[in-house]
Every structure is written in C-alpha cells, then in structure tokens.
Amino acid sequence: MRLTILCLTLSLFAAAQPQAIFFQAEDLPYAGDWTKVGEDGALGHSFLLTPNEDAIRPAVGFISIPQAGNWQLWVRSRDFPQDRPGIRRFVVEINGQRSQREFGAHAVGKPQAPSWQWEDGGSFELEAGPAIIALQRITPWSRADAIALVPAGATLPRSQDEIADAKIVPAASPDELAATTRPSTDATRLQAQDSGRVLARLENDAISMVFSAGSLDGRDVVMLRVDSRSNNGDMTTVIAPRLECYDVLKAHDELTIADRRAGILVNWLLDPRDVKVSHRGVSYDTRLATTIGNPEECGNMLRLLPKTCRQVANAVELQAENAAAGINARWELAPGELFPRLTLTFTPNADGVYGLRYAATAPVPRKQVEEISCPFLHAYRRLPAGPELIPTELTATPMATVQSAGPRCAGIAIAPADLPTTWPDCLDFEAGFQLVNSDGHAQPAAWLLIPGAGGSARKAGDSISASAHLIARADDWFETYRSLSSTLCNLRDYRQNHGNSLTDVLLNTISLMADDDASGWAPAQLGFWNIESKNTVTHAAPLALVMAAMLTRDDDLLARRAAPALAFLLSRPSQHVGAVPAAPGRYGRFTLGQATRAYGAAVRLSAWQLTGGYTPQFRDLAFTEDGTPQRSSVHAMDDALGAYQATGEQRYLDLARQEALNYARSYLQNQHREINPVHFFQVTHTGNWRGLLGVAEATGDRELARMANEIARRMVVGLYTWPVVQPGMMTIHQGNRTRTNGWVWLKGDKLFLLGWPNEFTGEHPTTSEELLYLSVPEKEVPAWLPSVVGLGIEQPTTYRRSQGSCAHIIMANWAPHLLRLDALTSEPLFTTAAHNAVLGRWGNYPGYYRTDFTDITSRTDYPLRGPDISGIYWHHIPCFLMMVADYLVTDLEVRSAGAIAFPAGRQCGYVWFDNRLFGHQPGRVFNRQGVWPWLPRQGVSVASPELNWLAGYDDDSVYIFLCNTSNAAVTSTVILNPAQFTGEVQAVFARQNKDAERNLNTSGSQVSVTVSPQGLCILRFQGLQPPASWQRAKSPLLNAAKGYSAEISTDGLAGTVRANWLGFGPDRAFAHIYSDHQGDKADRAELRLEQNGVSKSCTRDFWPAEFILPIDATVPAQLTLTVIDRDGHRHSAPALTITPPNGK
C-alpha cells in the first residue's frame, strides 16, 4: 500500500513539474521589418536581423502561458566581441512590459565572450492564457535567435532534447494558439480510442494491416495497426493502432512558391501586408511575414476522418469528407508486396489552391528516434529544426522513415513509377516529404499535392489522385532501404562498359593530361588553371601525375608533369596559387618556399615512396621533430596510417587505430544536428569512412570495419535510385536541345568556355542565359546509358541549377573504396553502387556536373572539343585519372580475393578526392612475386570494350589482366605488338578467375580468350619484356645522404633561393631551383647549371624565378640563379650545390 501511494505521489509530482516555453525568433508570424538570416551558430540555423536604419517595425506573435505565476525571460542574442560590441541591441516586450535588459550587448568589455549567448531578461508576472510578445529593435543590425520563458522550478532548455520538449510555434492570434500546443499534446491522435473491432484487413506473408473501429470525442473513427514479420518469423507491431486520417490544406489566396530556402528547400511567398496586432490594450504596427518555410502555415489545415471502411478483395476503401472537400482512399496489398499502396482521390468543394498530406505514423518524440532517413539531406538523427518540405527531386530515394527501438522502421515512400521520368527539375515538382511536425516531433509524411506547385490550383469538383506507399518494417533503416530500393525502385547492378573500356578511358585521360592546352596546364605555375578563379592554378591530386608517369613508364610525362607536380608540392604553401602577382585571383598572392600545407604525412610519404625514396625531402617533411606524423587537412588517422605504411613502425599503426576508433565513436554518437547545405555531401554529410577502411585493413580490427561499413551506408543511400532505369531505348536531347551547366568559366585572366564562341567579358565566372541550353539533335540510345541511377551530388546548394535542373556529379572517387569495403564486410550494395557510378559512363575525362540525359560527355573527344556542358575543371583531371586507375587495380584485387596485390601510395586531402596510387613498386600475382603494374600507352589491343584490362611485367613475362564487366561471357582477341616490346614470346599461359594457370600451347602475340560473366582472366606472355625505361627501386631508398636540398638568403632582389633534387630512381633526376621574390620589380631570371664539367644556361621571362631541368642522376649539380630587374641589373645568388641522395 505504501509503495502504491509513493508511486502515485511520485507520478503526480512528475506530472506537475513546471516546464519552460521555448521558441525561435524567426517563427514569430509577424516579422515586421526584421529579416530572417541563415547562420550555423544560430540554434535553428537562422535568426532575425534588423537590416538597416529604417527597420523599426517589431516582430510580433502570440504564445500561451500554461499557468499564472512568475516567469523568467531568457533571450539568445548575438554580439561581436572583436567588432564594436554592444551597438546592435533590442528588447523583448510581453503584454506590453519591456525586458529589464537590452539584448545583444553581452560582449561589452569581454573580448573573449562567445558571439551567441543566452541573456537574462528579468522576471514577468504573467496570467494564464494568451500573451502577446514583441521584439523591438533599439539599434540597427540587432540579432535575435531564440526566446525562452522559464517558470519557477524549471531550468533554461539548452540541450537539443530539452529544446524539443519545450518548443512551441508562436501563433498569429489568440484563436490560433491551439495549433501551437506542446509536442506531447497531439490531441487528435492521443484521444482516439481503439475498440478492437476489425472492420477490414489486408495481409500477406510479410505485412498485416488491421483497420478497426475507434472513437474520438463521441464520433466513430477508423484506426489502423500495421504489423511486420521480423527476422525471427514473428509478427511485430510497427505502427500501433492510430487514427487513420487525411490532411487537406486550403492555401491562402495570395500564396505562391518563392525561391528556395538555402537554395534548395521550398519557401512560400505571401503578399506583404501592414497589420495592427492588438491584445488587451497592447497594440503593435507590424507586417505579416512574407515568406513561409513551414508548409503547415500556408493556409488552414483540415483533417478529414473516414466515415466508411469496406473490404474489396485485396483492397480496403475508405471515404472521408467535410464541408471543404471529400477524399476517397484505397489501400492495396498484393501477395509478396512489402509496402502497401495508398491512393488518395481528392475532390475540393470550392475553387482554390490546395495541399494534400498523409502522415505515416503517430509522432515519435526526438528522444526515441534512433535514425531518420530522407536521403540525401537527412540521416542519422539529424532531424530538421522544424517543419520543412523536401521535394521528391531532392531525395535520392523518394522516402522518409524514422527508426525507433526494436528496431522498428516506419514511414512513407512515393514510388518512382508515380513520379516523372524526366530529368529531376527543382522548379517543377509534384510531391515531397515532411520529417518533423509543427510540434517538433519526428512524423514522416508525404505531401502528395504541394500548395502552390503544379496541379494544386483546383476547381470545385475537379478531382485529382495521387499515391504513396506505407513503410512499416520490423527491421532497421538500412534493411528497409534495401527492400524498398530493390522493389519500388528496382535498384540493381545494371551497368557495364559501353563503347570504351575503363582502360581506354584511363589512357585517353592520360593523353588529355599530357596536352598542355587541352588540359589547361599553366607551365609558369606548374599546375592546372582553376576555372573558378582568375589567374589561379590548383593541384587537387599532384601525385596522380607521378603515378601516371610510373604506370606508363613514360619519360615525357615524368619530365613535363611528374617533376613539376613534386616541385609544386615542395614550394607552394597552398593547393591554390595566384599565377600573376598583380592580379592573383580569389586565393591571393603567395610566397614560394613552403611545402603545400593541405597535404601532410599521408601524401608526403606517398611522394617519397612513389619516387623510390630518391626525393627524400618528402620524408623529412612528413614528421615533426618528435616523430609525430605531420597533420594536414585529412584526419589524424590518415596521416598516421601513411606513416605506418611508409616506415612499418608499429607505433604509427597503433596511433592510427586509436585515432580511428576515437573518430568513429565520436562521429556516430554525435550526428543529431542538421548540416549546413553548403557542405560537401561526400565530406561532412557522410564522414571519413574511407580512412576507417584503410586502418581496418591494416589492423584487421573488425570493430573499425563495422563502423566504416555503418558510415558508408549513409553515403550509398545518398546515391540516386530514380528515375528508374527503363528497358529498351529512350530519346535524349528532346526538342533538339540539352540543358547545360550554364556557367562561363575562366582560363587565366579571360572568360572561357570550351567549344562555345568565346566573346565573354568580365573577371569572374558567371551564368549566361544564352548558354543554358545547347542545340543538339534528338537521338535514341539504350535507356540505361544516360541514367542517373548510381550518381550523387556535390553539395545540396549546388544541386540546383539556374534553369531549374538538378546537377549530379560524375566524380565517384569513392567507388574503389566501396569495392574494398564490400570485400571486407560483405555488403553487396557497395559493389552495386561502385559499378553503377563508374561503368559505361565515359570515354575520357567527362567534366564534373550532369544536368540532363545526354551522351555528349561520353565522347572520347569531349574534353578536347566540347562544347562544355558539364564544367570541365582542369584541376580535376588528375583526380579523375587516379579514380579510374584505383578502380582498375582494386577490381583485380577483389576479383582475385587478394591473390593479386600491388603496393599502394595515397593521394588525399582535397575534398573527397581520395585514392590509392600504384606503379612505384612490384607486387604479387598469385604465387609469382615481383610483378610490376604497367599501363602501356601503345602495343596492347583488347578488342572487346566490355573487358577492362591492365598489364604487368616481371623478370621473364608480360601479363595482361582482363576483367569482364558484363553479365554474359565475353570472347575477345588480345594482341600485343612485338615492336613495342623486347624479347620474344616463348609461351602463353592463361588463368581463369582463381583456377590454376594453364598453357595455351601457343607462342604468338595474339590470343583469343573467353572471360566468364563478371570474371577475371590473366594472360602471361613468357619471354616478353617492356621497352627500356628509367631504373626504379623495388623498395624505397633509406638513409639518404644529405645534400639533396640547399638554400641561401641574399640581401638583394634574389631573396631566398632554394634548390631541390627531384629523383625518381638511381638514374633519373631533375633539379628544381627558385627564388621567393614576389615579382614586383623583376620578371626575368637566368640559371646556370654546372655538372660533369659542363656548363648550361637557360632563361625565363616571367615570374616566378624558377627552373626545373633534367640532370645527371649520378653526380652533384651546381646551380646559380640570377634575377634580372626591369632596369636590366643582374642580382645573382651564390651558387648552390645539390647531390644525389644515394651518395654516389
């Protein structure tokens, strides 16, 4: 008895606990002259600002005070500790009573104060019931983020969960306050009672839907319960009995859809109106907010409850109506289906603009949310701060789900079959999703008719039908995605090579990179022109240039691309550098003399390995004085792993593992806040699963592998699964045109767009109305070829283009990592994603963006001739090159189950362009050691483009590795041109997949071979060897002799002069020498090289004073640099001597 009384007492005490009231300033319905502004530091990523001297009208709204008493006012405002603090102030008034403090002055006299801070506004005696609240500016530029009222016995809400529990939305009048009740008072759904009397039932082996009779305030209603079969075979209730209802929004008459919030989300526009708002003798002249981001505020929301429910074979039909509209609902569930289909037919009784919404579940409190999924914008527990409408065009898979304990995953999806099959268009959308309701709880809902969008303006009696699919799975979010994407979206591994093998693509890209003009190469600055910045060159993957030379054994590539790339890394502090001192572009001027900071130990040690240790400066630069791996723009685990792979020291592997565990645990535990849409999807939105994968492979740590898998899943779910790939042929370039990227770029200091009439003027990239479409004939192509299924986005804010089209990106540098992660963790969706992103899409480097169904970017000559419709970023060429090379080698490794393996370096540190590098050391091919990977630019012909190929060689054989990308067996001729090899073929051996090698009993250089579906074949031509090339070390040179670099400072114009030995082996080297002078007084420079008793001079007529030239790799080189000023005076630095690092 005592226990019962105690429990009852505690329960009543808990129920009586006072609770704070919290709301965002930007949610006030009357904005007055305040303007909504976005910023990460604000709690809801936005705040209210008074933008100028004329902004005097207050922001006003109504809130409900639940009980009379003393309430403490708290206001979150912004001040600027380092910039005139205290000059941007405002006050808050409640029922006409002004706060005791002016907000926005908390940093006065406190230079270390935070910018955003809660401030105590004093106490207010308030009556229960409606209260009018106003923000009054004192000075312009004041900033208000959030307001809280805290009763006695409660605390200020600070955490996300506390804020969610306390959050309300201010109303426009006392009469509307019922719409802003607390999250726990979703009255209609909570008060409906289920009688248990079954009215109708739909079920199959996987799903059971039970429609039962219920009551609500004395009215008969229909309740719906959904059970799903779990992995153990039992039926589990996923959606508990809840009220079946349909939401109709009758929009305000003046409603139109405005521009997008943050460039992507839907905003609605209302005609601005000056209004007077009054309550109990308190009046304010203000202005109604002109933009609305919450779809529920676009008009009056009407809830229609079914009055009838009847079973019709494998369907259930319900009818609902009120004075405004009628709805016929039809639920269908066929045998074997996992996702019941709902079709709503809506008939308005009056002309108007309407919205139609169906909520899949009862609200789920934020504390109970384990995962949400509305890709690509929302994953983990990153719930939106409030209601927002996400058009289907902004969903990689048109679905919205919430996972709670069990696991149970519930939500709503719109089948791609019910959506347009045209290219996604951000200006013309038909449906969308809502993840959070106005009370702040998770409640996935589908807007099947969007107010203000096409089709939403209806005449009385004019019916419209739309469909959605209910999601109710006794499973987690990813298994739910797997089931939904494979059924509703028919997601499959659908691509193969077409027209070109990936090897052809790689060879074409290398040829492109070797072409100075076509690749945008800027010789003076040793890099590629950056098309987004005037007079700027960028190195996004400098080591890819070195790899290209190593794989091809091409001496010209070594001299014209590899050596300059290493010189850039040693002398430029940034990845982006201004090429002209007087007009350096958006990245500004720089001083030569520092290694590129963004590339730390992982990249510097890879440079050391790629050169066989013959450029030892990179090893020196990879560690701090105490031996710590040099940090960079990548995570610490990446640099530590690079240190281990280069040195073999266990302490670095231990450090990499610990850093990886710390990162993964912290990352997975803290994904509960929305991410600003300006951030890259493959970086901020998805996390560094690639780094975790590398450490997991090196350590064998299964927990790290599991966490890499878990994070990578969110990335894969962010890849598009629709419009669904159709069978047969499709028409592209409809209307004899195709949409373009729409931008004019830069080449140096001139506006430039490849393949277009270049008559543009200006200094910055710009859009041009004339370039939004390219005239090109219609044509029929296989429908799978131009499909976007498998492509992703760069970032939410760049997904939308000016003409409305959505822009996917082609750079899938993550694809090889997914192949490895599948091999490590057995997740076939990873391989499907890799194949769908890469195969059959290109003939050469294709640029960056895709904005329409086209095959133009697949041409082999596209980056040579254009017209540029995709954004041909020249500094992305090496990034694309290393992606394709990494894919080819990784595919070999995975298909052979690790029997083929080549040592790898790594290029990382520039966004998600992170790939392994090969060609600098020999590896293993089954039981044969010492096999060098090789990509001959001439001499090998593989007839079938379905086969990717790579070559290799060891001391007595040349290898051709063949990977079949087709689901059918492929027979192909493989021809080796004897003129491009040394030696003679003595025998040819073949190995299919992992079978034993067999002799083909031929000694010719032409072989016909059949490769099994998705199979691997290895041909070994015994007796052949590649042509002669420079000598490379099988392992890096250790303990290099000093003298490989030198520097001297002068008092004259020459400044500090530095020289580096750039070695690529014991018999191939270059000298690199430069002055750090800034080019203000001199353009010309002269270099004298003395080696082997021979003197050689060369001049340069442009800044910087820098030279790279080949030298004898076996003897020291003496270098004398002279800077010549504009008056012709010579400023010579003392001679510098650099010596071979092998001490010879």
> pLDDT tens digit string along 1126-1143?
999 999 999 999 999 987
Residues 6 or more apart in contact with residue 344 via CB below 8 angstroms: 246, 327, 328, 329, 356, 358, 448, 465, 466, 467
Q: List beta partners, residue 347.
A: 326
Tally of residues, the chain: 1144
DSSP string, 48-107: EE--STT--SPEEEEEEESS-EEEEEEEEEE--TTSSTT-S-EEEEETTEEPSS-BS-TT
Confidence of residue 802 (pLDDT cuts 50, 70, 90): low
Is the predicted pLDDT of residue 295 greater than 70, yes or no? Answer: yes
Percentage of the chain lying above the pLDDT 70 cut: 96
What CA–CA distances, in Å, run from 875 to 420, 536, 673, 872?
Answer: 36, 11, 33, 9
Residue ranges per structural domain of the chain: 20-180, 246-251+297-487, 502-907, 922-1025, 1045-1138
Q: What is the pLDDT of residue 503?
A: 98
- Residue 193 backbone phi and psi in degrees, to 5: -115, 135
Fold type of domain 20-180: Jelly Rolls (2.60.120)
**Is the pLDDT at 181 greater than 50, yes or no?**
no
What's the average model confidence in pLDDT over 751-760? 86
Task: Kindly state the average pLDDT of the residues 691-701.
Answer: 98
> Can you list the positions of beta strands (E) in 360-398?
371-373, 390-391
The phi and psi torsions of 358 (rounded to 5 degrees) equal: -130, 125
Closest to 23 measured CA to CA, from 157, 126, 145, 167: 167
pLDDT for 824 beyond 50? yes
Report pLDDT for 908.
97
Query: Looking at domain 246-251+297-487, what is its CATH homologous superfamily?
Result: alpha-galactosidase from lactobacil brevis (2.70.98.60)
- pLDDT for the residue numbered 341: 98
Q: Phi/psi class of residue 300: alpha, beta or left (left: φ > 0; alpha: ψ in -120 to 50)?
A: beta
What pLDDT shows up at residue 299? 85
Of the two residues 800 and 1091, the one the predictor is more confident about is: 1091
911: CB partners within 8 A, 6+ apart: 540, 680, 682, 683
Neighbour-count burial for 496-518, b at 16+ CB within 10 Å, e otherwise:
bbbebbbbbbbbbbbebbbeeeb
Q: What is the pLDDT of residue 180?
A: 38
DSSP state of 530: P
If one compares 218 and 446, the residue with the highest pLDDT of the two is 446
- d(C-alpha 502, C-alpha 626), whole Å: 44
Euclidean distance between CA atoms 595 and 225, whole angstroms: 64
Using DSSP's 3-state secondary structure scheme, residue 484 falls into helix
- Across 17-30, b (16+ Cβ under 10 Å) vs e yields eebbbbbbbbbbbb
For domain 502-907, say whether CATH 1.10.10 is its number: no
Which H helix or E strand runs over 143? strand 143-151
What does the pLDDT read at residue 900? 98
**Structure confidence at residue 1144 (pLDDT):** 62
Q: What is the 3-state secondary structure (H, E, C) of 628-683?
A: CECCCCCCHHHHHHHHHHHHCCHHHHHHHHHHHHHHHHHHHHCCCCCCCCCCCHHH
Query: Among 179-193, 277-291, 538-552, which range has the highest average pLDDT?
Result: 538-552
CATH number of 922-1025: 2.60.40.1180
Task: Look at residues 593, 619, 623, 616 and name the one whose alpha carbon lies nearest to residue 605.
Answer: 619
pLDDT band at 10 (very low <50, low <70, confident <90, very high): very low
Exposure on the CB side of residue 985, measured as CA atoms within 13 A? 23
pLDDT of 188 > 60? The answer is no
User: Where is average pLDDT lowest: 36-45, 129-138, 758-767, 1062-1071?
Assistant: 758-767
In terms of pLDDT, which residue wins out, 514 or 112?
A: 514
Distance of CA 1049 to the CA centre of its chain: 45
pLDDT at 89: 96
Give the mean model confidence (pLDDT) for residues 947-968. Answer: 97
The tokens for 49 are 């600002």
pLDDT at 764 over 80: no
Other CB atoms closer than 10 Å to residue 114's CB: what's the count? Answer: 13
Question: What pLDDT, on a 0 to 100 scale, did the predictor assign at position 13?
Answer: 35
Mean pLDDT calculated for residue range 503-526: 96
State yes or no: pLDDT of 666 exceeds 70: yes
Partner residues linked to 373 by β-bridges: 401
Measured in degrees and rounded to the nearest 5, phi and psi for residue 930 equal 75, 30
Pick from 390, 415, 439, 418: nearest CA to 338 = 415
What is the pLDDT confidence band of residue 453, given thresholds at 50, 70 and 90?
confident
pLDDT in tens, 1001-1035: 988 899 999 999 999 999 999 999 999 888 888 88
Mean pLDDT value across residues 147-158: 94
The span from the CA of 511 to the CA of 517, in Å, is 12
* Contact predicate 1003/986, CB 8 Å: yes
Sign of the torsion angle spanned by Cα atoms 580, 582, 585, 591: positive
Two tokens, residue 353: 């603009």
Helix, strand, coil share (%) of the chain residues, nearest 5: 20, 35, 45
| pLDDT confidence tier of residue 985, bands split at 50, 70 and 90 | very high
Question: Residue 1 has what pLDDT?
Answer: 37
pLDDT band for 3, please (50, 70, 90 cuts): very low
* pLDDT at residue number 264: 64
Rounded to whole angstroms, the Cα distance separating 225 from 61 reads: 39
Q: What percent of the chain has pLDDT over 90?
A: 77
Q: Is 1042 exposed, middle or buried (0-12, 13-18, 19+ CB in 10 A)?
A: exposed
Question: Per the structure block, which two tokens stand in for 960?
Answer: 């051709």
- How far is 125 from 1053, CA to CA, in rounded Å? 75
pLDDT for the residue numbered 268: 79
- The average confidence (pLDDT) of the chain is 92
pLDDT value for 289: 66
Per-residue pLDDT at 184: 35
Closest CA to 782 of 423, 497, 1003: 497
What was the pLDDT predicted at 263?
52
pLDDT of residue 427: 73
Structure tokens that stand for 782 in this block? 């296989």
Per-residue DSSP letter, 558 = I
Among all chains, which residue has been given the structure tokens 């808990």? 14
Specify the range with the lowest mean pLDDT, choosing from 159-173, 320-334, 638-652, 938-952: 159-173
Check residue 183 and give its pLDDT.
34
pLDDT tens for 848-901 read 999 999 999 999 999 999 999 999 999 999 999 999 999 999 999 999 999 999
At residue 15, does pLDDT exceed 60? no
* HEC-encoded secondary structure of 1017-1057: EEEEEEEEECCCCCCCCCCCCCCCCCCCEEEEECCCCCCEE
CA distance 520 to 757: 18
Per-residue pLDDT tens digits for 53-70:
889 999 999 999 999 999
Q: What is the distance between the terminal CA atoms of the chain, rounded to a whole angstrom?
A: 95
Handedness of CA 521, 526, 532, 533 (dihedral sign): negative
- Give the residue from 1019, 1003, 1007 showing the smallest Cα distance to 962: 1019
pLDDT confidence of residue 185: 33
175 pLDDT band (50/70/90 cuts)?
confident
Q: Let me know if the fold of 922-1025 is the same as that of 1045-1138.
A: yes
For range 303-312, the mean pLDDT: 95
3-class secondary-structure state, position 156:
coil
Beta bridge partners of 610: none
Per-residue pLDDT of 475-486, as tens digits, reads 999 999 999 999
CATH architecture of 1045-1138: Sandwich (2.60)
Q: What is the mean pLDDT of residues 131-146?
A: 96
Can you tell me whether residue 278 is helix, strand or coil? strand
Residue 48 has pLDDT above 80, yes or no: yes
Other C-beta atoms closer than 10 Å to the C-beta of 209 total 20
- pLDDT-derived band at 676 (thresholds 50, 70, 90) equals confident
